[in-house]
């Protein structure tokens, strides 16, 4: 059954969806409600009624334990067009994807359990079938730490590279420390402290010693009286 846009406006269909707002859980709920359309036929209407009845019944019986929501879950569709062009996804974006997939997996398991509960909630079969098994993707994304950083054990090569990087950092700190303690260098420094920016160890050197200091000029201080080298 086709319903024209004019009829929907006369029925204030879009406004009627606002009644769901108080029960929405973030951006995902808003997008789900915004995408709703009237039922196409009586069969679909009866299907939705049965689903709503089962959902309300489960909510009354189990409360928040029915499906434990994750407040960190968010829509991830905007990530993929850019990722296709650049071939890159950040750690924070991977974390968002993993959070959503984990929530979907949890929802699928709960719906499956409820459906078989005393053979009462057959209506949940509609939702369960729409959620496929994301276990392989979740397992792959397990190498993303909660901070969004890729874990060292993501691959042997990554662990090797990070180990080498830490070795280089330790060597850099030792070299910088020797410079700070060197009497011939110490008097060139504005401050006897070590800074780390953009993968470089730097010392704050007085402007007049720029050409004599054994290093590369990286940045200038706010005052202009010294430089980072």
Determine whether 123 is exposed, middle or buried from the number of CB atoms within 10 Å of its CB (0-12, 13-18, 19+): buried
Average pLDDT of every residue of the chain: 83
Q: Identify the pLDDT of residue 194.
A: 83
- Residue 195's H or E segment, with its range, is strand 189-197
Domain ranges of the chain: 39-154, 171-228
Average pLDDT rounded to a whole number, residues 26-45: 82
203 pairs with which residues across the strands?
194
pLDDT band of 118, cuts 50, 70, 90: low
Query: What radius of gyration, in Å, describes the C-alpha atoms of the chain?
Result: 29
Reported as a single tens digit per residue, the pLDDT across 130-184 is 888 999 999 999 888 888 888 888 888 988 998 998 898 888 888 888 888 888 8
Put simply, whether the predicted model's pTM sits higher than 0.85 gets the answer no
Q: What is the distance between the alpha carbons of residues 23 and 209, in angstroms, rounded to a whole number?
A: 66
Q: Can you tell me the distance from the alpha carbon of 179 to that of 188, in angstroms, rounded to the nearest whole number?
A: 10
């Amino acid at each position: 059954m086709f319903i024209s846009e004019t009829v929907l406006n006369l029925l204030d269909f879009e406004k009627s969806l606002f009644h769901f707002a108080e029960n929405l859980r973030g951006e995902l709920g808003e997008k789900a409600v915004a995408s709703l359309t009237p039922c196409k036929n009586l069969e679909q209407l009866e299907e939705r009624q049965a689903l709503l009845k089962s959902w309300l019944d489960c909510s009354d019986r189990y409360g928040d334990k029915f499906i434990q929501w994750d407040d960190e879950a968010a829509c991830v569709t905007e990530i993929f067009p850019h990722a296709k062009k650049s071939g890159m996804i950040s750690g924070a974006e991977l974390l968002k994807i993993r959070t959503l997939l984990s929530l979907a997996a949890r929802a699928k398991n709960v719906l499956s359990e409820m459906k078989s509960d005393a053979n009462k909630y057959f209506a949940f079969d509609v939702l369960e079938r729409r959620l496929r098994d994301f276990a392989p993707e979740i397992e792959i994304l397990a190498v993303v730490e909660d901070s969004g950083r890729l874990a060292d054990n993501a691959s042997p090569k990554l662990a090797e590279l990070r180990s080498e990087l830490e070795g280089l950092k330790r060597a850099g700190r030792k070299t910088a420390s020797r410079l700070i303690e060197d009497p011939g260098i110490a008097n060139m420094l504005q401050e006897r402290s070590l800074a780390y920016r953009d993968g470089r160890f730097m010392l704050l050197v007085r402007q007049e010693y720029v050409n004599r200091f054994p290093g590369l000029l990286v940045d200038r201080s706010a005052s202009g009286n010294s430089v980072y080298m």
